[in-house]
Amino acid sequence: MLSVAVITANPIAAEGIDQIVADSGIFNIVFRGSPDELPTRDVLRAIGMQDPELIFLDLSKWDSVEVLAQQIKERGSRGIMIGFRQSWNRLEQLTFEEAGINYLLREPFSAAEMETMAYETLHKEKGVTNSNILAFLPAKAGGGCSTVALHTAAGLAKSFPKNVLLIEGDRRSGVYSIMLNLDGRQGLDNALALGSSLTPGEWHQHVERIDGFHLLPANRKRRSPLPSWADYYQLLRYAQKQYDYLLIDLPEVVNEATAEAVRSARTVFIVCTPELTSLKMARFRAEELEACEIPSDRIQVVINRLERGADAKDLEEMIERPVFWTLPNDYGELNGAVLESRLASPESAFSESCRALARKLGGLPEEPPERSRFALLRKLSRIAG
């Protein structure tokens, strides 16, 4: 939830905002005060202690809050000031801007208007800026999207000296805890609930270290309210400071919360299989993403389980877009990995292909032929053993 300070001397305005906050599930008021009742220094101290993300400031009596606004600006508070009043002219607006209030709400305002203002303000002033956010979603369930995301994360961790995080965004049907026999972590829901209050110590109680990268698994045992866009916004804002690459494994249907992750992603990969239904669903998923205002060039298709000798070009007509990458059908190795609660062998065809995908995503050339020959020798040695 977004932490909010409300400063107004009008009890009706205060009550209205309280009601909006109670109904929204987006905001949490950490401080409310009246400039008529509290000295400026006390308000500043409270804002400094609570460190709200947004400061809603009643501008109806500008003379009584001008000094306060100026001092909030000068102190460099994290909180973005949003002023509200019934009306203003251009000269007044310029005066507000000089005091650091660049965003204005016309009173009375609705819950939707308050939320929209918060969304636009935060994304303009403090948006998610990591350029290496990659989202994966399946064309339909059962296409191996989670397996692709998992091994691509491992490929990134092996190919780059970078910090990599994989977020399991499917809160109800996430499979990583089963695939890797994980248990006991707080998981995604708790991390979303903590939001901007997460500390490094708490964070490490939520993630698992897997093969050189961190995994934030979903905890299907935890029953919590549906997250909001604000929850994902805060999670991504926190994680982008800790990691060079953020991968997000999402369910096939994008909702208002996961749309935040999708819109923040550099690329959204739709993972499908060569089956007709999966290919056609990939086309529908792409249309849904474009309806969420995701540019077409940021939507890519990955075909999983492509049989040896098959040509992806033959499948592009059904998807109505080019295929970005293909992954081989390596059922035996992947099935064995799940039975043994591990990732596929690094020398397996699937892992090698995911590692090549990771290198492409990171702008690295393909692995040199010498390394490929050694990989073949290791594979033959493993088979002989």
pLDDT in tens, 47-61: 999 999 999 999 999
Model confidence pLDDT, tens digit, residues 125-164: 999 999 999 999 999 999 999 999 999 999 999 988 889 9
- pLDDT above 80 (res 320): yes
Sheet holding 2-7, edge to edge: 27-33, 2-7, 54-58, 80-85, 103-106
Domains of the chain (ranges plus CATH)? 2-125 (3.40.50.2300), 133-364 (3.40.50.300)
- pLDDT above 60 (res 247): yes
Query: Is residue 247 packed enough to be buried (19+ CB in 10 Å), middle (13-18) or exposed (0-12)?
Result: buried
What is the predicted pLDDT for the residue at 377? 53
The angle that helices 229-242 and 187-194 make with each other, rounded to 10 degrees, is 100
pLDDT category, 376, cuts 50, 70, 90? low
Model confidence pLDDT, tens digit, residues 78-132: 899 999 999 999 999 999 999 999 999 999 999 999 999 999 999 999 999 999 9
Task: Taking residues 223-250, report their average pLDDT.
Answer: 92
What is the predicted pLDDT for the residue at 195? 82
Query: What gap in Å lies between CA 2 and CA 53, rounded to an integer?
Result: 7
What is the predicted pLDDT for the residue at 285? 95
Decide: helix, strand or coil at residue 54.
Answer: strand
66-75, 169-178, 201-210, 374-383: least confident range:
374-383
What's the residue count for the chain? 385
- pLDDT above 70 (res 383): no
What is the predicted pLDDT for the residue at 182? 87
What is the predicted pLDDT for the residue at 194? 87
Q: What is the mean pLDDT of the chain?
A: 91
Query: Is residue 3 packed enough to be buried (19+ CB in 10 Å), middle (13-18) or exposed (0-12)?
Result: buried
CA angle 59/64/70 to nearest 5° reads 80
Q: Report the predicted TM-score, pTM, of the whole model to 2 decimal places.
A: 0.89
CA dihedral 339, 341, 343, 346 (to 10 degrees): -70
Cis amide bond preceding 108, omega within 30: yes
- pLDDT above 90 (res 71): yes
- pLDDT above 90 (res 185): no
Q: Which residues, including other chains, have CB under 8 Å from residue 130's CB and lie 6 or more apart?
A: 236, 240, 243, 246, 264
Task: Taking residues 2-10, report their average pLDDT.
Answer: 95
Bridge partners (DSSP) of residue 31 are 5
